[in-house]
Amino acid sequence: MNTLEKRLLNDFQRDLAPSPTPFADMAEELGVTEEAVIGGLRTLTERGVVSRVGPVFRPHRCGASSLVAMTVPEARLEAVAEMINAFPGVNHNYEREHRLNLWFVITADTQGHLQALLQHIERQTGLATLSLPMLAEYHIDLGFPLQWD
Amino acid sequence: MGLTARDQQLVAAIQSGLPLVSRPFADIGARIGLSENETIERIQALLTDGTIKRLGVVVRHHELGYRANAMTVWNIPDDQVDELGRRIGAVDFVTLCYRRPRHLPDWPYNLFAMIHGQNRTAVLHNIESLIERCGLKTIQHEVLFSRRRFKQCGARYIDASPRQPAEGRMHSQSGGPP
């Protein structure tokens, strides 16, 4: 990671001004050419360390979503995770170090559909679900400060 | 969500990123029938009303070597949860912070904060620092490190089915799982 790349990654996670020429603005701040900024961002995107240069949206307030936890016997964990991934609206499915060892987010267009999905998952797996919908969001997303070795 | 049809088109056009060209907003505008100026004005309005939380370089932490993440869960008295939640949510290494319902007696925790780090040690160090900075010494908590990632797709804001809600961006990749 060269110095320009590090600064492109760290210094512009927010407050990218929606000016007609945002990359020329960045270039001026960095003391390089606009081509160097655009080229650098393209390379970082191709390498997969930049997901995009663009917006991060506030989570939706419409529809229904919940964080769901399950206690799954170790031997069945992979199969159950796969089964759950096949349901529409399942996202961010992680094994975690806890008695409740499977955690995922589920979304649906209505609360009724969400409850139906959960019941369906419980029937299909024979396991209980613990549903923990978001009640309030406190995080202020200012980007994430990076540390370099 | 209360977005006009025009704004929905705009959101759909920018959600996977701006084109990396000299005049990206002219380019976006041309795709949806807006001038460069109108495009910029609408994006500014979405930033002002908070629909867009930030506009900038969205990094992938995992690919940058931030391989460890822990979901920390806290049992905070109800009358303190808003204040402490805001304080925790403002700490720079906290990437998500939500209040959720308790499920007694099994699940006493009502606040969730996601913490990322380059490795387990760094995450644990961050948690110590969080306890110190936010005065959480007496608050019951647990740390749930992730083990395997079975699925993590970037939640899209506007989908083919337009009312698909998205909890957690991580960011998507702006910060990992909710």
In chain B, % of residues over pLDDT 70: 84
Distance (Å, rounded) from C-alpha B77 to C-alpha A49?
Answer: 39
Residue A92 annotated as catalytic:
yes
| Cβ-nearest to A96 among B25, B88, B146 | B146
Query: CA torsion sign, A41 to A46 to A49 to A53?
Result: positive
Using a CB–CB cutoff of 8 Å, tell me whether B48 touches chain A.
no
pLDDT, position B13 = 93
Stretch among A88-97, B65-74, B150-159 having the lowest mean pLDDT: B150-159
* Predicted pLDDT of residue A139: 81
3-class secondary structure, B155: coil
Interface residue of A57, A78, A113 to substitute, partner B, most B CBs within 10 Å: A57
Mean pLDDT taken over chain B: 85
Contact A94, B149 (CB under 8 A): yes
* Domains, chain A: 3-46 (no CATH), 64-132 (3.30.70.3460)
pLDDT tens string B118-136: 899 999 999 999 999 999 9
Question: What φ, ψ does residue A31 adopt, rounded to 5°?
Answer: 70, 35
- The answer to whether residue B160 scores a pLDDT higher than 70 is no
More confident residue, B123 or B159: B123
Cβ neighbours around B22 below 10 Å, total? 15
pLDDT of residue B2: 67
Rg of chain A in Å (alpha carbons): 21
The answer to whether the Cα torsion of B10, B11, B16, B19 is positive or negative is positive
Average pLDDT over chain A, rounded to whole?
91
Q: Residues for chain A: how many in total?
A: 149
What residues of chain B lie within 8 A of the CB of A56, using their CB?
52-55, 58, 169, 171, 174
Which one of B11, B112, B150 would you mutate to disrupt binding with A, by most A Cβ within 10 Å of its Cβ? B150
- Note the pLDDT of residue B24: 97
Q: Does B133 touch chain A (CB under 8 A)?
A: no
Residue B161 and residue B99 in contact, taking contact as beta carbons nearer than 8 Å:
no
Task: Measure the CA–CA gap between B17 and B15, rounded to whole angstroms.
Answer: 5
pLDDT score, position A64? 85
Please give the model's pTM, rounded to 2 decimal places.
0.76
What's the token pair of residue B48?
A: 């002002």
pLDDT digits (tens, 9 = 90+) for A104-148: 999 888 899 999 999 999 999 999 999 999 999 998 666 777 776
Residues B50-63: pLDDT tens digits?
889 899 999 988 88
CATH class held by domain B62-145? alpha beta
Q: How confident is the model at residue A91, as a pLDDT? A: 83
Which chain B residues in 74-93 lie under 8 Å from chain A, judged by CB atoms?
A: 82, 85-86, 88-90, 92-93
Q: What is the pLDDT of residue A35?
A: 98
DSSP assignment of A96-144:
ESSSS-EEEEEEESSHHHHHHHHHHHHHHH----EEE---EE-------
- Confidence tier at A62 by pLDDT (50, 70, 90): low
Q: Are B61 and A144 in contact (CB under 8 A)?
A: yes
Return the exposure string of B115-152: e unless at least 16 CB atoms fall within 10 Å of the residue's CB, then b.
bbbbeeebbbebbeebbeebebeebebbbbbbeeebbb
Minimum mean pLDDT among A78-87, B51-60, B105-114: which range?
B51-60
User: Bridge partners of A50?
Assistant: B59
